[in-house]
A and B are shown apart, each in its own frame.
Chain A
Amino acid sequence: MMAEVIYRGFCIIIDTIAKLMDKIRPGWSDRNSSRISEWKLMAYAYSRSAIGIVGGVLVSIFVIIGIIGPYIAFERYNEFPASVNPDLYFLRPCIPPWCDPWSENLPLLGTDNWGRDILSLVLHGARISLVISLIVVALGVPLGIILGLLAGYFGGAVDEVMMRITDVFIAFPALILAIAFATVLPSRFREVLYTNVFTREFFLSLFALSKEEIPQLASLLAVIFALVLVWWPGYARIIRGSVLSVKEQAFVEAARSLGLSTWRVLFRHILPNVLSPVIVMVTFDLGTATLLAAALSFLGIGPQDPVPELGFLVSKGREYFPDKWWIVMFPGIALFIIALGWNLLGDSLRDVLDPKTRRSLEFKVKGKKQRKFKSVKRK
Chain B
Amino acid sequence: MSKKYLELEPEKILSVKDLEVKFYTYAGVVHAVSGVSFDVYENEVVALVGETGCGKTVTTRAITRLIYPPGHIARGQAIFRRRNGTVIDLLSISEKELRDIRGNEIAYIFQDPTSALNPLFTAGEHIVETIVAHSSTNRKLARNEAIRLLKQVLIPHPSLRVKTYPHELSGGMRQRVVIATAIANKPRLLIADEPTTNLDVTVQAQILDLLSELKKQYSMSIILITHNLGIVAEIADRVYVMYAGKIVESANVFELFEKPMHPYTRGLLHALPDPVRRIEKLEYIPGTVPSLINPPPGCRFHPRCKFAKRVCREEPPMVEVEPGHYVACWLYAKR
Direct chain A–B contact by Cβ atoms under 8 Å: yes
- Pick the interface stretch among A215-223, A265-273, A356-364: A356-364
**Across-interface contacts of B74 in A (CB, < 8 A):** 375-377
State in angstroms the CA–CA spacing of A375 and B74 once bound together.
7
State in angstroms the CA–CA spacing of A373 and B75 once bound together.
10
Query: Are A363 and B70 in contact, CB atoms less than 8 angstroms apart?
Result: yes
> Chain A, 335-378, contact with B by CB distance < 8 Å: what is the 0/1 string?
00000000000000000000000111111010000110101111
B73-104 interface with A by 8 A CB criterion: 73-77, 89, 91-92
> Chain B, 1-31, contact with A by CB distance < 8 Å: what is the 0/1 string?
1000000000000000110000011110100
A129-150 interface with B by 8 A CB criterion: none
**Partner of A378 from B1, B24, B25 at Cβ < 8 Å:** B1
- CB proximity of B288 to chain A, nearest CB, Å: 18
**Across-interface contacts of A376 in B (CB, < 8 A):** 73-76, 91-92
Q: Does B69 contact A (CB under 8 A)?
A: yes
Q: Does A31 contact B (CB under 8 A)?
A: no
- CB proximity of B220 to chain A, nearest CB, Å: 27
**Across-interface contacts of A375 in B (CB, < 8 A):** 72, 74
**Partner of B92 from A362, A371, A378 at Cβ < 8 Å:** A378
- CB proximity of B77 to chain A, nearest CB, Å: 7
State in angstroms the CA–CA spacing of A365 and B27 once bound together.
14
**Partner of A363 from B25, B73, B76 at Cβ < 8 Å:** B25
State in angstroms the CA–CA spacing of A174 and B77 once bound together.
64
Q: Does A379 contact B (CB under 8 A)?
A: yes
- CB proximity of B101 to chain A, nearest CB, Å: 15
State in angstroms the CA–CA spacing of A178 and B132 once bound together.
61
Q: Does B65 contact A (CB under 8 A)?
A: yes
**Across-interface contacts of B69 in A (CB, < 8 A):** 362, 365, 370-371
Query: Are B75 and A361 in contact, CB atoms less than 8 angstroms apart?
Result: no
Query: Are B27 and A373 in contact, CB atoms less than 8 angstroms apart?
Result: no
Given the contacts A373-B92, A378-B77, A362 and B24 also touching, CB distance less than 8 Å = yes
**Across-interface contacts of A371 in B (CB, < 8 A):** 69
State in angstroms the CA–CA spacing of A1 and B52 once bound together.
38
Q: Which residue of A lies closest to B92 (CB)?
A: A376
Query: Are A379 and B18 in contact, CB atoms less than 8 angstroms apart?
Result: yes
B24-47 interface with A by 8 A CB criterion: 24-27, 29
Query: Are A370 and B72 in contact, CB atoms less than 8 angstroms apart?
Result: yes
**Across-interface contacts of B91 in A (CB, < 8 A):** 373, 376
Given the contacts A371-B69, A378-B92, A361 and B1 also touching, CB distance less than 8 Å = no
State in angstroms the CA–CA spacing of A91 and B25 once bound together.
57
**Across-interface contacts of B92 in A (CB, < 8 A):** 373, 376, 378
Query: Are B72 and A365 in contact, CB atoms less than 8 angstroms apart?
Result: yes
Given the contacts A373-B65, A376-B91, A362 and B77 also touching, CB distance less than 8 Å = no
Query: Are B75 and A358 in contact, CB atoms less than 8 angstroms apart?
Result: no
- CB proximity of A366 to chain B, nearest CB, Å: 11
Q: Which residue of B lies closest to A372 (CB)?
A: B95
Q: Give the interface centre of A41, A377, A378 by most chain B CB atoms within 10 Å.
A: A378
**Partner of B26 from A358, A365, A377, A379 at Cβ < 8 Å:** A358
**Across-interface contacts of A373 in B (CB, < 8 A):** 65, 73, 91-92
**Across-interface contacts of B29 in A (CB, < 8 A):** 363
Query: Are B27 and A359 in contact, CB atoms less than 8 angstroms apart?
Result: yes
State in angstroms the CA–CA spacing of A14 and B17 once bound together.
48
Query: Are A362 and B76 in contact, CB atoms less than 8 angstroms apart?
Result: no
Query: Are A360 and B73 in contact, CB atoms less than 8 angstroms apart?
Result: no
**Across-interface contacts of B75 in A (CB, < 8 A):** 376-377
**Across-interface contacts of A365 in B (CB, < 8 A):** 24, 69-70, 72
Query: Are B72 and A363 in contact, CB atoms less than 8 angstroms apart?
Result: no
**Partner of A361 from B26, B65, B72, B76 at Cβ < 8 Å:** B26
Query: Are B65 and A363 in contact, CB atoms less than 8 angstroms apart?
Result: no
State in angstroms the CA–CA spacing of A363 and B75 once bound together.
19
- CB proximity of A264 to chain B, nearest CB, Å: 32
State in angstroms the CA–CA spacing of A45 and B26 once bound together.
9
- CB proximity of A133 to chain B, nearest CB, Å: 33
Query: Are A359 and B25 in contact, CB atoms less than 8 angstroms apart?
Result: yes
State the 5 A-B residue pairs at the shortest beta-carbon distance, nearest first.
A361-B26, A362-B70, A363-B24, A370-B72, A376-B91
* Interchain Cβ contacts under 8 Å between A and B, 15 examples: A360-B70, A361-B25, A362-B24, A362-B26, A362-B70, A363-B70, A365-B24, A365-B69, A365-B70, A365-B72, A373-B92, A375-B74, A376-B92, A377-B75, A378-B1
Q: A359-B26, A370-B69, A373-B92 are in contact. List 18 more A-B contacts (CB 8 A).
A: A41-B26, A45-B26, A360-B25, A362-B24, A362-B70, A363-B24, A363-B25, A363-B70, A365-B24, A365-B69, A376-B73, A376-B74, A376-B76, A376-B92, A378-B77, A378-B89, A378-B92, A379-B77
